Structure 1
Amino acid sequence: MPLLPKQDFQGQPLVRVGDADTFLLLAPQHGGRLVRWVHRGQDLLYWPDAADWSRPAKVRGGNPLLFPFIGRHFADGNPGQWRDGQGTVHTLAQHGFARDLPFDVSAIDAQAAITMTLRDSDATRAGYPFAFAFDAIYRLLPDGLEVTLRTTNTGTQRLPSYPGHHFYFALPHAQRAGTSLTLPGADRMRQQPDGSLGPAEPGETTYQLDDPRLQDTFHVFRNSPAAALAMPGRRIRFELDLPGSAPWHAVTTWSESETSDFYCVEPWVGLPDAIHHGQGLRWIEPGQSESAVCRLRVTA
C-alpha cells in the first residue's frame, strides 16, 4: 500500500489529496466516501458537524458511491431484492453495498489523484454473486474534479452493473429559490411504490431548486447528457458526455427535506430496478472493464 497523507477530521484519519487551497478528504475505510471537496478555499460539499461515524454509510454528506446497483430494486414487490436470469432471488440493499464496505487505496498522487478499490468478498457475494474490482478514481483539475467509476469483471460470467454518484452539494436551504439547475434534453421520471417506472414527462430546460417536481426525480437524457448547477457565488457544470465513458443515463435530484442545507444532484448510469427493466443496465464480459467518467467544472 502506498504511503497515505493523512489528516484528522472529526476524530477520523482521512486521506488528503491536494494542496492548502484545493483538496479532497476521503475515507477509504468507510465506503470510499469523499467527505470534503474544497475548491479554492470553499467547501463545495455538505458534511454535518456532528456526523455519526459509527454508521458512516447513513451520514447525509459528501459523495457516497453507489454500486453495483443504484436506487431501489424489487422482486415480486419486495424491496431490496432482485432476480437473476436463472430465477434466483438475491437480497441487496438500496444503492448496493459499496458505501458500507472498506476500500483499499491502490494508487495515490498526494497532490492530484487517488484510486480506491473494492473487490468481491464474502460480504458481497451473497447479494451479488460476481467477481469484480470496482475502482473510484478522483483527480483534481485546475477548475474542478474528474471522477471515474471503473468496473472490471474478474470472473467467468458476464456481470450486470449500473453505478452512480450521490453528491451532496452544500447549499443553505434559503438559497434554493435562487439556485437553478439546467438539464437540456431530459425527461422527468419517478419510481412507483412497487418498483416500476412511472410515465416519462417532458422536462424543463431550467428549474429552480425549490421546484417540488425535482424531489426524488430522475432526469433521463434524450440526447447528450449534461447538467449545470448555478448557485449564489458559483456554478458547477457537469460534463457527462466524455470520450471512452459508459453512457450516463440520468441525473437524479433529491434532498431530505425543505430545510436541509444540501441538495443532491446525482449522475447515474442506470435507473432504479434496471436489473429487471433494463434502462441503463450495463453488462460487462469476463476480463473486460467499463468506466463511467464525469467532470465537474467550477466557475464563479
Structure 2
Amino acid sequence: MPDTLATMTTTQRFQDQDLLKIGQNDDYLLLAPEHGGRLVRWVHRGEDILYWPASADWSRLSKVRGGNPLLFPFIGRHFVDGEVGKWQDEESVVHALPQHGFARDLSFLISDISDDAVSLSLASSDATRAGYPFEFVFTVTYRLVAAGLEVTLRTANTGTRPLPYYAGHHFYFALPHGDRSRSHITLPAASRMRQRQDGSLTDAEPGEADYALDDPRLQDTFHVLKAPGEVTVTLPARTIEITAPDAAHSVPWYAVTTWTEREDSDFYCVEPWLGLPNAVDHRQGLRWIAAGSEESAVCTLTIR
C-alpha cells in the first residue's frame, strides 16, 4: 500500500481478518485488496446485499463462494483442442491460464481512496506474464452512491501491442434458497446460450423478458444482450436494478450470466460480463485494446 494512502484507510475486523472499510454507519463496503481485490461485504441501510459464508476459508479465498470476485483477463473456461485451462494467442502460442483468469488469486494495491470510494489496481508482473504475456493495469473502482453502488472496471494497455481481454463481475446476491420461486429477474432483449464441455457454445435461443429464479433455463446461462438495458432482480427482501451508462462513458456489457451452485445454496449470481467464456477462441465478446489506450466498463447497482 502506498505510504500516502496508508493513513487514509479504515479497517474493520471480520472473520479474523483486517478488511478495508469504505463508508460508515449502515452503508459500507468491506474489501480484501490482498485477496484478489475481493468485495466481501456490501451493507446497504444495515442489510447485507451480498452473500458471504460464515466459515470462509481465507487460505483459499479465490475458491470461496461469496462477495464479488473480479474476473480478468478472461471469463470462464477456455480451451485448446478440448483441453481446459489453455488458450492460444494470435501467433499460435498456447498458454496456461486458470478459469476466470488470475485476478482473483492476486494482490491488488489501493490506487485511490476517499470516504465513499476506492480504486484497487493490479498491474502486469512476472506472476501474470507466464499465462498472459501482455502489459496492463486493471483497476476496479467501487463508489457508494445514494441508492446503491457504482462499479467501474478499467483496463489500460501499458504495452506496445494490442491486448485481448474480456472481464466481468461475479456478484453473489444473498437469497435464501427457499425464496427462489418467489424471486424474478427481468432482462432486456437477449438470447440464451451455454458453454459445452469442449468449450464451444450452444446455438442461441430466444430469451424471455422475465424468469423466476428457480427456472432451470437460467442455470449457468449466458444472456447475450441485443441492446443495452436494465436488469432487475426482484427478491422478497429487496429489488436490485443493474444499469449501465451510455456508450460515451462505458463500453457495452456483452452478456449477463445467471448461476447458482446447488439447490440449497443461499445465493444467486447475476454477472455482467464483457464477453463469453472461450471468446479468445470463438471471438464472441473478445475485446482488443490498442497499445497505450484504455477503456472502462461501468455498472450501477440500485437497491429499491
Quick check: TM above 0.5? yes
Offset of 1:279 from its aligned partner? Answer: 1.1
Asked if 1:269 corresponds to 2:253, the answer is no
Aligned residue in 2 for 1:55: 60
Q: Deviations over 1:36-56 (max 9, x none)?
A: 000000100000000000000
Structure 1 length normalisation: TM-score? 0.98
Q: Deviations over 1:132-161 (max 9, x none)?
A: 000010000000100000000001011001
* Corresponding pairs, count: 298
Equivalent residues of 2:140, 2:151 under 8 A apart: yes
Asked if 1:158 corresponds to 2:162, the answer is yes
In 2, the alpha carbon distance for the partners of 1:67 and 1:250 equals: 15
1:238 is matched with which residue: 215, 227, 242? 242
Superposition pairs of residues 65-214 of structure 1, within 5 angstroms: 65-109=70-114, 111-214=115-218
Equivalent residues of 1:249, 1:270 under 8 A apart: yes
In 2, the alpha carbon distance for the partners of 1:226 and 1:95 equals: 25
Aligned residue in 2 for 1:14: 19
In 2, the alpha carbon distance for the partners of 1:138 and 1:282 equals: 23
In 2, the alpha carbon distance for the partners of 1:258 and 1:226 equals: 27
Find the residue that maps to 1:55 and give its secondary structure. helix
2:112 maps to amino acid: A
In 2, the alpha carbon distance for the partners of 1:166 and 1:265 equals: 7
Find the residue that maps to 2:58 and give its secondary structure. coil
Find the residue that maps to 2:59 and give its secondary structure. coil
Equivalent residues of 2:35, 2:107 under 8 A apart: yes
In 1, the alpha carbon distance for the partners of 2:32 and 2:229 equals: 29
Asked if 1:291 corresponds to 2:296, the answer is yes
Find the residue that maps to 1:72 and give its secondary structure. coil
Give the CA RMSD over aligned residues: 0.7
2:49 is matched with which residue: 37, 44, 51? 44
Offset of 1:184 from its aligned partner? Answer: 2.0
Find the residue that maps to 1:48 and give its secondary structure. coil
Aligned residue in 1 for 2:30: 25
Offset of 1:280 from its aligned partner? Answer: 1.0
Asked if 1:219 corresponds to 2:223, the answer is yes
In 2, the alpha carbon distance for the partners of 1:37 and 1:63 equals: 10
Q: Deviations over 1:177-225 (max 9, x none)?
A: 0000001201110001110110000011000000011000000001224
In 2, the alpha carbon distance for the partners of 1:64 and 1:116 equals: 13
Find the residue that maps to 1:156 and give its secondary structure. coil
- Structure 2 residues not aligned, in runs of 5+: none
Offset of 1:241 from its aligned partner? Answer: 4.4
Q: Deviations over 1:206-250 (max 9, x none)?
A: 000000110000000012243110001210001024342111000
1:260 is matched with which residue: 256, 262, 265? 265
In 2, the alpha carbon distance for the partners of 1:138 and 1:184 equals: 25
Offset of 1:93 from its aligned partner? Answer: 0.4
Find the residue that maps to 2:291 and give its secondary structure. coil
Equivalent residues of 1:226, 1:241 under 8 A apart: no
In 2, the alpha carbon distance for the partners of 1:38 and 1:180 equals: 22
Find the residue that maps to 2:181 and give its secondary structure. helix
Aligned residue in 1 for 2:285: 280
Offset of 1:292 from its aligned partner? Answer: 0.6
- Structure 1 residues not aligned, in runs of 5+: none
Equivalent residues of 1:225, 1:249 under 8 A apart: no
Offset of 1:12 from its aligned partner? Answer: 0.6
Equivalent residues of 1:67, 1:161 under 8 A apart: yes
Equivalent residues of 1:23, 1:38 under 8 A apart: yes
Aligned residue in 1 for 2:10: 5
Structure 2 length normalisation: TM-score? 0.97
Identity percentage of aligned residues? 61
